[in-house]
Amino acid sequence: MRDALTEWREPIDREIEQLLPRTITEETLADLFGPPRYEYDTEAIAQALFEPVWDLLDRGGKRWRPVLFLELVDALGEDPEQYLPYATIPEILHTGTIIVDDVEDDATLRRGEEAIHLRYGTDIALNAGNALYFVPLKVISANPGDLDPSQQLGIYEMLTFELNRTHLGQGTDIVWHNESEIDITEAQYLEMSACKTGCLGRIAGRLAALVTDSSDAVEDAFAAYAESLSIAFQIGDDVLDVKHSLDQAGEFGKAFGNDIREGKRTLLVIHALKKADPADRDRLESILTAEEVTDEEIEFVLSILQETDSVEFALETAERLAADARSQLGEVDIDPEVQAELEDFTRYVIERDR
Amino acid sequence: MRDALTEWREPIDREIEQLLPRTITEETLADLFGPPRYEYDTEAIAQALFEPVWDLLDRGGKRWRPVLFLELVDALGEDPEQYLPYATIPEILHTGTIIVDDVEDDATLRRGEEAIHLRYGTDIALNAGNALYFVPLKVISANPGDLDPSQQLGIYEMLTFELNRTHLGQGTDIVWHNESEIDITEAQYLEMSACKTGCLGRIAGRLAALVTDSSDAVEDAFAAYAESLSIAFQIGDDVLDVKHSLDQAGEFGKAFGNDIREGKRTLLVIHALKKADPADRDRLESILTAEEVTDEEIEFVLSILQETDSVEFALETAERLAADARSQLGEVDIDPEVQAELEDFTRYVIERDR
């Protein structure tokens, strides 16, 4: 899978450029969005949409959802090349959600640079991010791979279902973030993450089953694999943030404890709140809901996370999810070589160091 | 049509409550969005989505797009009752866009009350607004009226097309709003408005043709009718803002000139910029791009709008669009009584006083 990430990178980015050309003219706009009834302001549309989106896309990103889609198609014994344009769907949707999430979360950095809303303005960022919720859907009507109408319909229905749930997850996370008392069960955390993050993975998984006209059993297994993988990936991210913070705490001039500063309700924090003494718990809650957080407070939170074995607990949960993802793949008849790669990927998302 | 707005109000609002119940439980959530894999935080989801959306829906709104859809179905000799759930699609999409637009435009008021992002926070508002881009699409898979798969597919493709163009329009408007030099042609203004506002009207029009399995000619005519009507409606709004401002200017303690304060590039402003003397033009541009605007500056802008006959020019354009809308209806064979109502509505959108 890690080789696949390198190997598919260029073909995926070429497809993204088909969907969203780097430079546009009146003609490309008419090709992409239909002819104008009156007259497009091409320059304004370039500024509003194409510039901010390419700024973000050019900053990198792992493109793991499109690669997952292609690998799953491959696992079913079909030629991924044939369905390459569909790979852009989860990636572009993901790109749209991170632009919008950064506004919602008041984030300052994205992929090591200024967040899009800080560079281009909140208005431009939101509109561009939202546009990306609909741009990739154009792939379905272009119909690469010559799908049956019932398959196309299945893709639209799947996307509607998953994108609705994405907003339930993000909404839940926002409400938690704004609350001063934190009373979240582990099951509620996993559901929030299944919706917020898992749905974009599920889109990649279900799409692979749908374009290949596979059975419902395959679609369900791929969806469950991708969902568990996505949650494990998220927990892996949250663990990394704490590990880096523990490494960097006390080092002069380095920012650390970003998630703590933002008051993120990670699985680690939820576990620590459950296990900590009442007094520590109160201080933890007040730090997580504070506007400004000192380095000393971050170090206090890190010490509580350590005392309550929260990193270990989070890693165990991630490993349970990864094992679940692997067992889901075991339910369906797929190419054993690709299966091994996909199993390997469930380990990588937890063990990676960046 | 004005009678139809009153008559259909309750049935439409009942359908909206089917789609988005006022109170939710674990069971209603599972019915609406599928069962949880782990456990929903029902209270958080109610706060994130249902409360802010119902706050806005309960403030009113004309619901003219759903009524237009129902009237067009009626005009084709079919029973609108049968397709009632589809009427929620343009209304809920519209509700989503105004929540998001108010964030983008930094608006303070909506339907006479605090804008949703000011009352609930930008994060909650954006997520709820965006959720409304996908919630109404659930109607299509529920399949009221028992449509053929090809019709369902047609609806998804139509929505993808129109919602992409909506974001081109909004993006163009944002770029204009942020520019200090204003050089916009009338054709570019009409295109921006056709995209930003017209597309939501077009959705109502095309949906009526699609659910009734009508010809492409009917769909095109309904789309063009609804688009021209929507632009005329928008120009009507902009003219009303100026008329109210002229009435209220100088009256103690009343806010006036809202559009001018916001720096909106209306058709009136674009015309005034073209016709005004160079010195007036410069002052006009600087007022429209200023952060803070005095009452005296508003009065100056109003005087320029009057000198350049901009209200008359805008009304003439709106009347031309209304006539175009009526002629589009004349192209197709529909019930003459409903046709007369729909023609009447094109006059109302310009002549109304609120």
What are the pLDDT digits (tens) for B216-249? Answer: 999 999 999 999 999 999 999 999 999 988 887 6
Domain B1-68+81-146 fold is Farnesyl Diphosphate Synthase (1.10.600)
The ipTM assigned to this model is: 0.95
Using an 8 Å CB-CB cutoff, list chain A residues near B123: 104-105, 174, 177-178
The number of CA neighbours under 13 Å toward the Cβ of A287 is: 24
Select the residue from A100, A104, A162, A235 to test the B interface by mutation, using most B Cβ atoms within 10 A.
A104
The number of CA neighbours under 13 Å toward the Cβ of B224 is: 20
B305: confidence class by pLDDT, cuts 50, 70, 90: very high
Q: Does residue B5 have a pLDDT over 80?
A: yes
> For A193-225, how does the pLDDT look when each residue is reduced to its tens digit (9 = 90+)?
999 999 999 999 999 999 999 999 999 999 999
How many Å is the maximal CA-CA distance in chain B?
67
Distance CA A116, CA A127 (A): 11
Closest to B213 (Cα-Cα) out of B163, B146, B157: B146
Check residue A250 and give its pLDDT.
59
Under an 8 A CB cutoff, do B133 and A133 touch? yes
Shortest distance, CA B305 to any CA of chain A (angstroms): 24
- Greater confidence (B252 vs B181) lies with B181
User: Do the domains A147-354 and A1-64+83-145 match in fold?
Assistant: yes
Q: Are strands B113-114 and B109-110 parallel, antiparallel or unpaired?
A: antiparallel
Distance CA A86, CA A65 (A): 11
So what's the architecture of A1-64+83-145 in CATH?
Orthogonal Bundle (1.10)
Shortest distance, CA B160 to any CA of chain A (angstroms): 6
Whether residue B246 contacts residue B302, with contact meaning beta carbons closer than 8 Å, is answered with yes
Q: Select the CATH number that applies to the domain covering A147-354 from these four: 1.10.3720.10, 3.90.1300.10, 1.20.1260.10, 1.10.600.10.
A: 1.10.600.10
Of A36, A128, A150, the CB nearest to B171: A128
Under an 8 A CB cutoff, do B100 and A130 touch? yes
Of B47, B103, B153, the CB nearest to A153: B153
Tell me the sheet residues that pair with B113.
B110
Whether residue B206 contacts residue B198, with contact meaning beta carbons closer than 8 Å, is answered with no
Under an 8 A CB cutoff, do B172 and A41 touch? yes
How distant, in Å, are the alpha carbons of A104, B7, B21, B100, B245 from that of B106?
Answer: 15, 35, 29, 10, 21
Shortest distance, CA A323 to any CA of chain B (angstroms): 16
Under an 8 A CB cutoff, do A123 and B174 touch? yes
Using an 8 Å CB-CB cutoff, list chain B residues near A34: 161, 165
> For B17-41, how does the pLDDT look when each residue is reduced to its tens digit (9 = 90+)?
999 999 999 999 999 999 999 999 9
Check residue A74 and give its pLDDT.
96
How many Å is the maximal CA-CA distance in chain A?
67
In terms of CA atoms, which chain B residue is nearest residue A159?
Answer: B134
10-residue mean pLDDT series, chain A (354 residues): 88 96 94 95 96 96 94 97 98 97 92 95 98 98 97 98 97 91 89 97 98 98 97 94 82 71 91 94 92 91 95 96 96 95 92 78
Under an 8 A CB cutoff, do B36 and A141 touch? no
Select the residue from B50, B164, B181, B328 to test the A interface by mutation, using most A Cβ atoms within 10 A.
B164
Rg of the Cα trace of chain A?
A: 21
Q: Which two tokens stand for residue B19?
A: 């789609």
Torsion of CA B27, B30, B35, B38, to 10 degrees: -70
**Arithmetic mean of pLDDT, B89-109:** 95
Under an 8 A CB cutoff, do A188 and B39 touch? yes
Closest to B37 (Cα-Cα) out of A93, A154, A349, A231: A231
Counting residues of chain B whose pLDDT is more than 90, the rounded percentage is 84
* Residue B48 per-residue DSSP state: I
Of A105, A163, A194, the CB nearest to B37: A194
* Phi/psi-derived region of residue B114, left when phi > 0, alpha when psi is between -120 and 50, beta in every other case: beta
Check residue B1 and give its pLDDT.
76
**Arithmetic mean of pLDDT, B62-81:** 96
Using an 8 Å CB-CB cutoff, list chain A residues near B174: 48, 121, 123-124, 127
B12: confidence class by pLDDT, cuts 50, 70, 90: very high
Residue A43 amino acid letter: E
Check residue A291 and give its pLDDT.
85
Using an 8 Å CB-CB cutoff, list chain A residues near B194: 36-38
Whether residue A182 contacts residue A288, with contact meaning beta carbons closer than 8 Å, is answered with yes
> For B315-343, how does the pLDDT look when each residue is reduced to its tens digit (9 = 90+)?
999 999 999 999 999 999 999 999 999 99
Q: Torsions phi, psi of A104, nearest 5?
A: -60, -40
The number of CA neighbours under 13 Å toward the Cβ of A69 is: 28
Torsion of CA B230, B175, A119, A291, to 10 degrees: -50
Q: Which two tokens stand for residue A266?
A: 């990670």
Q: Does residue B354 have a pLDDT over 80?
A: no
Q: Which two tokens stand for residue B191?
A: 């295109």
Closest to A49 (Cα-Cα) out of A118, A116, A114, A141: A116
Using an 8 Å CB-CB cutoff, list chain A residues near B45: 168, 171-172
B291: confidence class by pLDDT, cuts 50, 70, 90: confident
Whether residue B216 contacts residue B188, with contact meaning beta carbons closer than 8 Å, is answered with no
Check residue B250 and give its pLDDT.
59
The residues spanned by each domain of chain B are 1-68+81-146, 147-354
Select the residue from B127, B150, B265 to test the A interface by mutation, using most A Cβ atoms within 10 A.
B127
Distance CA A309, CA A225 (A): 27
> For B135-192, how does the pLDDT look when each residue is reduced to its tens digit (9 = 90+)?
999 999 999 999 999 999 999 999 999 999 999 999 999 999 888 777 899 999 999 9
How distant, in Å, are the alpha carbons of A177, A202, B280 from that of A170?
Answer: 10, 16, 48
Distance CA B255, CA B185 (A): 30
Of A45, A138, A141, the CB nearest to B172: A45
How distant, in Å, are the alpha carbons of B34, B76, B106, B223 from that of B86?
Answer: 21, 16, 31, 16
Whether residue B83 contacts residue B144, with contact meaning beta carbons closer than 8 Å, is answered with yes
Residue with tokens 């899978």: A1
